Structure 1
Amino acid sequence: MDYIPMLVFCFISFLIVRTTTPTDTINTAQFIGDGDTIVSSGGTYELGFFSPGKSKSRYLGIWYGKISVQTAVWVANRETPLNDSSGLVRLTNQGVLVLLNRSGSIIWSSNTSTPARNPVAQLLDTGNLVVKEEGDNNMENSL
C-alpha cells in the first residue's frame, strides 16, 4: 500500500503542471472553455473568451498577450455573442473549429478544404490560428 501516496503525489503533480503550463495548441480531445486560453509560443497572442468594455456578452477572440489593455485583433462570433460564460471551443475530428453555446448548438465554425487525419489547432506568434496535421510544421500544408 506504500505506492498509493506516490500515485496521489504523481497525479497532483500532473494536474499542477497541466493547469499552469501555457500551451499554444489544442487537439480533438481538448477544448477551450470560458476562462481557459491558449497562448502563442512567445506569448505575443492569446485566444479565449472575453467581454469588451462593460459588455456582458462573451466573444471568442484573439488579443495581444503582452500589453496591459486587452486589445482584440480577431473575433469569431462578432455577429452572435454568447450571453453567458458557457461557451466551448473544440476541434472536430475533421479539423473544423466549432464554438458551441450552452445548449450545444454551433454558433460559429471554421471550415476546411481538406479533411484531417490527426488535426491540431495552433495559435502562432504571428497572430494566426491554424489548423494542421499534428507534427507537420510546414505552414503551406495548413488545413
Structure 2
Amino acid sequence: MKAVVVGAGLAGIAATWALQQHGYECVLLESSGRIGGRMKTTTLGKHNVDEGFHVLHTAYPTLGRWLNIERLNLKPMDPATSLITPSSGRLQTLGDPLRAPLLMLPSLFTAGPWNALRMLRWRLKSKKKDLEYAMDHPTLSIDKGFESMRFS
C-alpha cells in the first residue's frame, strides 16, 4: 500500500512514521524545503532565535509511545513569559503565581488586578483536573475561554 503525507511538520513526520510501521510505502511532501513545520531556529550573529512553538507537553499520554522522552534531554520551561508592549516598548512579565510566587507582583502589574485574580482562579481550578479530563471534554478556543472568564 502507498500513502502520500503533505507537510513535514511534527504531525506529518509522525503520520509518516506511523503509516510506515503499518506497512505503507510513504512519500512525505514539504513545500518549504526543510522539515519541522512552523518550528525552526534562526541564527542571528551569535544568537539562536527559536521560531514557532517550542514547548513539549510531556504529560500527553501518547507522547511516551512515540518518543523516548528520557533521551531528549529536555529542560523545564520557565513558568513565566516576558513581553514587550508595542505601544510603549515596555518589557513586562507575566508568570504563574503558583509556580513562581516571586513573579506575582510583576504579573499583577502586567495583567491588572482583576485579570490577575481571574487568572489565579482559572489556574487553581485547572490544577484540580488532569490531562485525561481535558481530552475527554469539549474545549474552547483561547479567545472563547478568555471571553468566558471575562478577561479584558
Higher relative contact order (CA 8 A, sep 6+): 1
Report the TM-score range of the alignment, normalised by the length of the smaller protein: under 0.3
Larger Rg: 2
Structure whose residues are more often strand by fraction: 1
TM-score relative to the length of structure 2: 0.25
